[in-house]
Every structure is written in structure tokens, then in C-alpha cells.
Amino acid sequence: MKPPPFDYQLADSVSQALDLYARSEGDALWLAGGHSIVPSLALRLQAPSLLIDISRLPELMGITLTEEGLRIGALATHAQILSDPLVRTHAPLLSEAAAHVAHPAIRNRATFGGNLVLADPASEFPAVVRCLDAVFDIVGPEGARQVGVEDFFLDLFTTALEPGEILRSVLIPPAPASLRCGFDELARRHGDFAMVGAAVWLVVAEGVTTEARICFHSVGPTPMRATLVEEALRGRPLAADEINAAQAVLGNDLDPADDVTLPGATRLHLARVLLGRILHRLAGQTAMETAA
């Protein structure tokens, strides 16, 4: 066994979990699917004295439709996100992206909430929930609080979640009428982390884009909104000339750094190709039916 020594305790309720954390004096980590923590412990990147297992907390489970939108429990697995009919109907961007997240065996155990709080900039779900304007339902020693996605992803592997807080669920607001959305990514091998990926969320009324949210992953320290591209699309027809113009301004939104795998300029080029590909696909698509 390679990890540094730790104790393990299974929590039966959120309040018990918070209590265990308080007693550890901050020297504990939450364990849900364990698909990031177990390897990071084996690599000795972290050394908590206690793992608090929150993988059986009913308060963190379930996918339900409420008046405020679709509420997804933090313990939903990637496999559930991929196959759940409510997600498919009310947040199709998430189902579409889930097919690109890791491989089937990983999806069966890794959790949606765990993925979001890790905030890996190469991961798909953070970019998608930013596109969907999600709200994070967080509980901690001071009680519950709600954090909007624009205030959640702060930096590389850094979120607004404070030590000792638990992400309970994520709320996806209702999809508007005339929504068109698409996700795609470029990866060397299907299921591997992408070189670049994009989530596009558009409201298109009578051929004209009225609202746009576009978010990329693997191009910066956090999921990156392309606000200038959104501006270039808004109020204009969704057609070839406008798509070209949107692709042209992407370089003002994104400035990916060079790294060992790719030069930044290549990554930007790939992002532009991907943006064009998704927008052309959406231009050819009639407005999807929404049950909202």
C-alpha cells in the first residue's frame, strides 16, 4: 500500500460528517467515489489523517425536477448523468458531455459532485455547468449557502468551497424555449482528457441568436467563457458569415499557454475549429423541444 496512513470513518448523515470534520481539526478529506482521491493518496500528493466517507449520504443523492430547475445530487455518478432521462430532457448538454468523460468503468463510480469540486480545468462538466448557469448548494458548519457558477470556479483546482464544506447538489435552471445546445471535444483517444472541448448554449428565435453562452475547457486555469464570441453572435442570424466572425474573435477571448503537450497557438486553433463545427451543427438544427 502506497498512501500515507489515514483513518477511515463512514458518515451516516451530513451533520455527522460535519461533526467528524470539526473533530479532525481540519485534517480530513471527504471521500465520495474516490476516483481522484485514491490515486492522489497513492501518489502521496495529499496526506490527511482521516477520510470521511460521504458516499452513502441520502441528502447528496438523487436527480429530481423541481420548480427551480433540475436538481442533481452531488453523488450522481457520471454513468447516471449519461443515462438519466430527466438529465437528457432538461440538461441535454450534460448527457452529451458525459459520453466524453473518462471510460465506462470510471463513470460507474466517479461522481458528478466530486468532478466539479476537483475543478480540473481539462474536465468537461465544469465547462458545461458554467454554460448552464448552475447554482451550487453547499452545506457547512455555518449552515447552507448557494453559490452561482460565476463565483464557483476560482482558479486551477480551486473553487469557492471552503475546507469543511460539502457540495450537496447542483441546480440547473430550466431550459428556455428555442434552446439549441451542443458539446464536442478533441482528444487523442476517446475518453482521455481533451486537448480542447467546448459547450455551446444558444437561444435562437426565428433564426436569430438572442442569447449565447459558450464555455471551453482545457484552454486555461478554469472553464473559460468566450464572452466576446457570445457578443458577436447575439442579435445576429445564426449563419455562415456570423459564424466566421465569431470564430475570428475567439483569439481575443482565449489565450492558452504553451505546455508540454501542445503549443498554445495550436490549442487556440483547435478551439476555433471546434467552435465552428458546433455552431454550424446548431445552425442546421431546428429548435429542440424543451419540456420547461
Partner 1 sequence: MTQTLQLKINGSDLRLDLDDPRATLLDVLRERLGLTGTKKGCDRGQCGACTVLIDGRRVNACLALALSHDGAQITTIEGLARGEDLHPVQAAFIADDGFQCGFCTPGQIMSAVALIAEAEAGLDPERIREGMSGNLCRCAAYAGITEAVLDATRALALEEERAA
Binding segment (CB under 8 A) for partner 1, from list 13-21, 39-47, 155-163, 218-226: 39-47
- For residue 163, the tally of other CB atoms under 10 A from its CB is 10
Q: What are phi and psi of 254, to 5 degrees?
A: -115, 145
CB of 105 to partner 1, least distance (A): 4
Residues with Cβ within 8 Å of 131's Cβ and at least 6 positions away in sequence, in order, are 93, 181, 199, 200, 201, 213, 214, 215
Report how many residues bind partner 1 under the rule CB under 8 A.
30
H-assigned helices in the chain: 14-23, 37-42, 78-83, 85-90, 92-98, 104-107, 112-118, 124-131, 227-233, 240-253, 264-283
What mask, x for binding partner 1 by CB under 8 A, covers residues 98 to 137? ----xxxxx-xx----------------------------
**Cβ of residue 107: shortest distance to partner 1, in angstroms?**
9
Least distance to partner 1 from the beta carbon of 101, Å? 11
Question: How many Å apart are CA 20 and CA 38, to the nearest integer?
Answer: 20
31 binds partner 1 (CB under 8 A): yes
CB closer to partner 1, 6 vs 157: 6
**CA-CA-CA-CA torsion sign (103, 51, 156, 68):** positive
Beta carbon of residue 144, minimum distance to partner 1 (angstroms, whole number) = 25
Nearer to partner 1, 124 or 137 (CB): 124
Binding site for partner 1 (CB under 8 A): 1-3, 5-8, 10, 31, 34-35, 38-39, 41-43, 51, 53, 55, 79, 102-106, 108-109, 189-191
